[in-house]
Amino acid sequence: MSNVELDVVEFLLTVAVYNGDRDLDEDDLPADYRGVFWSDGRIERPLSATTTTATEATGVDRPWEAVSGLMFTDHDEFSGDISFTDRDMAEEWFLDRVDADRIGDNPVLAAAFGDEFGVDLDEARERNRPARADRAWIDAMLDEYFDDEEEEEMLDLVDIRAPEEVDMTMNDLVLTADQEDEIYKIVKAIEHRDYLAQIGLREIGKLLFVGPPGTGKTSVARALAQELQLPFVEVKLSMITSQYLGETAKNVEKSFEVARRLSPCIFFMDEFDFVAKTRSSDEHAAIKRAVNTLLKSIDEISLIDDDVLLIGATNHPDQLDAAAWRRFDEIVNFPKPDTGMRADILRVVTRDMDITDFDPATLAEITEGLTGSDLRLVLREAVLDALTEERTTLTQADLEAAVEDFEERDNLKNLDMIDGDADALVAGGDISGSDDEAETDHAHDHAHD
């Protein structure tokens, strides 16, 4: 028996059970199956099991060929439909070959066969990503509520990612103990939102991430969205308050509306120090109105009432005033990594590399002051240098040489411009990338050592 047989039969059986049980809904379909059947933001019965849908759902290139040798399957060459000639036989065949874990990963089958395996339907549903986190559902919701040209322009200022589109996971990160504690607490708060509402504790779920560029603020926020299987809504405050000067306050309100429509979700506001800069300067009145709208909107949104986890991030906490600080119930510090953390980061980001005589502790000692994103850039340069010599196996010497090269380039980048000849110094580009790229590249976490 091959795995492809089992995969295709599971898909066919899931379609059959789902079509016949009206108590099941799209949240019960495995996420990989749902993506095949979305249409205009909904999944309608009856689902159709064809060679095309089976391939898209299971990844099996020739699904009919995979199951054509089974006594209980049939195929219509004209329509492409794959069906059971004897469903009872199909169920018996399938159930003889699977275990409780496989049934628990498929709520549709847990509803039908969970009792035979001791699988609880509610637990299976908890393990399955909710339909509201699917890209297709997100796009349909945005099309429904933000359909005119002006609102579509505003949406261009907001970066919206489904969980499966986030390539950073918590296992890729190295966190300080304080960061671990704060994230663990917020995860528990999300799990127990109903209880918190019951006892009247609503002032929770607004975090402010503070620290230099490249220390992982954006990475942690995105990885948390992936971990919790929540849509990730990101807005850069400097952009949303500068693109259309006369519409800044409206853009702020719309960005919060996007988060509410996509809830439960994570709403990440980068460059939060822009608020303080604006409040303390003689900026245009429209900008100041936008900032006041922003602060009011933060006050009004809630994890408990709106299912929105709000995370602000700033590279310049010293510029925030009391009005900004008091909007957040938790402050999470993102310092530059110490020697032990740098060694851990190097271990994490080199997991898939072949390195001779690899000594992360020594590398950590000679990379004082570098952030996680800096370390990734060092490794990138070492890999590229090795490839120019047609090598895919690196050495410790390669990595140490890359550290020296990085420090030389970093020093050159920070030199004062002389005689206006700025282009000569920056022609190669900013080796550290933008602040956003630095945030995205960094990865920190002691919890996964």
Q: Say what the pTM is.
A: 0.81
Question: Taking a C-beta distance cutoff of 8 angstroms, is the pair 14, 109 a contact?
Answer: yes
Token digits of residue 152: 């579509």
* Residue type at position 206: K
Token digits of residue 399: 């990595």
Q: Mention every residue, 6+ apart, whose C-beta is less than 8 A from residue 155.
A: 142, 146, 258
Q: Domains in the chain and their CATH numbers?
A: 3-128 (no CATH), 135-333 (3.40.50.300), 339-448 (1.10.8.60)
* Residue type at position 293: T
Residue-level pLDDT, tens digit, the chain, 449 residues: 459 999 999 999 999 999 999 999 999 999 999 999 998 888 999 999 999 999 999 999 999 999 999 999 999 999 999 999 999 999 999 999 999 999 999 999 999 999 999 999 999 999 999 999 999 999 888 888 777 666 666 677 789 999 999 988 998 899 999 999 999 999 999 888 889 888 988 778 899 999 999 999 999 999 999 999 999 999 887 776 555 545 677 778 888 999 999 999 999 999 887 766 555 555 567 667 777 888 899 999 999 989 999 999 999 888 887 888 888 989 999 999 999 999 999 999 999 999 999 999 999 999 999 999 999 999 999 999 999 999 999 999 999 999 999 988 766 655 554 444 433 333 333 333 334 444 444 444 444 44
Give the Cα separation of 96 and 23 in Å (integer).
Answer: 26
C-alpha distances out from residue 44 to 10, 13, 79, 88, 310, Å: 20, 17, 19, 25, 33
b/e for 29-62, b at 16 or more Cβ within 10 A? bbbebbbbbbeebebeeebbbbbebbbbbbebee
Rounded to a whole number of angstroms, the distance between the first and last alpha carbons of the chain is: 38
Token digits of residue 408: 């030389």
Give the Cα separation of 308 and 7 in Å (integer).
Answer: 36
| Chain centroid offset of residue 7 CA | 27
| Secondary structure (DSSP) of 188-251 | HHHHTHHHHHHTT--S--EEEEE--TTSSHHHHHHHHHHHHT--EEEEEHHHHTTSSGGGHHHH
Give the Cα separation of 449 and 441 in Å (integer).
Answer: 19
Phi, psi (deg, nearest 5) at residue 39 = -150, 115
C-alpha distances out from residue 41 to 46, 133, 151, 154, 264, Å: 16, 12, 19, 21, 17
Q: To 5 degrees, how large is the angle CA 342–CA 344–CA 345?
A: 65
Residue 290 pLDDT: 74
| Chain centroid offset of residue 345 CA | 19
- Dihedral of the CA atoms 191, 195, 196, 198 (nearest 10)? 150
Token digits of residue 411: 């020093």
Residue 374 pLDDT: 94
Residue corresponding to tokens 């602000």: 312
Question: Taking a C-beta distance cutoff of 8 angstroms, is the pair 137, 265 a contact?
Answer: no
Beta strands, E only, 29-186 = 73-75, 82-84, 158-161
Q: How many CA atoms lie within 13 A of 388 on its CB side?
A: 6
Question: Taking a C-beta distance cutoff of 8 angstroms, is the pair 356, 396 a contact?
Answer: yes
Residue 251 pLDDT: 78
Residue 49 pLDDT: 96
